[in-house]
Amino acid sequence: MADAELVNRVRVALNLRTRKQAEHTLNAVIAAIEETLVAHQHEDGYQLRLGSLCRCLIRHRPALHRKAGFSGELTVPAKRKVKFRVLGELKKRETVA
């Protein structure tokens, strides 16, 4: 469930009558973003930019084989990571004075 303040801001911005309509709209947008990232999860370097809010970047890390002292070799499995990078006004206000 989305935050009440965010739902209220969406309701006011879109001139929706009820909180339930705003929550449904917000959940639909979040689901669309998630589906887009899942659909492109196999593409290394895929970027999804959400206006001036953020940029999501999918990175693939290959499996690594390392030597671990006396115990022999260690295998680190391959991973997919989604990096979330803040943009715009949030980035300007990121540092604390």
Q: How far apart are CA 24 and CA 30, in angstroms?
A: 10
Q: Which of the two residues, 38 and 95, has the higher pLDDT score?
A: 38
Considering the chain, what percentage of its residues have pLDDT values greater than 90?
58
| Tokens describing residue 7 | 């739902």
For the residues 48-52, what does the mean pLDDT come to? 90
Domains of the chain, by residue range, sit at: 1-39, 42-97
**For residue 57, how many C-alpha atoms fall within 13 Å in the half-sphere facing its CB?**
11
pLDDT category of residue 97 using cuts at 50, 70 and 90: low
* Three-state secondary-structure class, residue 38: helix
- For 69: left if phi > 0, alpha if psi spans -120 to 50, otherwise beta; the answer is left
CATH of domain 42-97: 4.10.520.10
Q: Provide the pLDDT for residue 2.
A: 62
Taking 3-state DSSP, the helix, strand and coil percentages for the chain, each rounded to the nearest 5, stand at: 40, 30, 30
Q: Provide the pLDDT for residue 58.
A: 93
